[in-house]
Amino acid sequence: MTLDYLEFDYSEDEEGTGTWDAMASVRAERVPALAAEIAELLRWALRQFAGRQGAVEEGMDWDYDLQSQDDEGRPLPARFDAVSGQLTLQASATGYATVSLSLSGSARFGDALREAFGLDD
């Protein structure tokens, strides 16, 4: 899959846990496309690493944090339902919705993520 909205920055801690951080800011009409891209990425992770989502420092393979806000810095609802694979992402009524997605993962997760989405470190 090619990512059109998310461009990740990579960092790694001393224990080898990788973190991929992305931020996208879009007008209301682009929110559904951004939500679809994020949902596809999270569905991929759930499929490829089934039952392995959770704190990496506790032995799991991957986890994520998803936040969204409007131009004024007010939070916008952003929720991914792992059962349905759907992402609910509210558009800003006054401008742009800025969405931040952080993925953290083991080396195994990182290798698979890079391959699946063509990410470079």
- Cα 108 to Cα 18: distance, rounded to the nearest angstrom: 10
Taking only the tens of pLDDT, the chain with its 121 residues reads 789 999 999 999 998 899 999 999 999 999 999 999 999 999 999 999 999 999 998 999 999 999 999 999 999 999 999 999 999 999 999 899 999 999 999 999 999 999 999 997 5
- For residue 1, the model assigns a pLDDT of 79
- For residue 18, the model assigns a pLDDT of 95
**What is the number of domains present in the chain?**
1
- For residue 2, the model assigns a pLDDT of 85
Question: Which residue range forms the structural domain that includes residue 92?
Answer: 17-117
Structure tokens at 119: 């990410």
93 contacts: CB under 8 Å, gap ≥ 6:
28, 70
Q: Is residue 2 part of a domain?
A: no
Q: Is residue 10 part of a domain?
A: no
What burial letters (b/e) apply to 9-35, b meaning 16+ CB within 10 Å?
A: eeeeeeeebbbbbbebbbeeebbeebb
- Cα 107 to Cα 52: distance, rounded to the nearest angstrom: 13
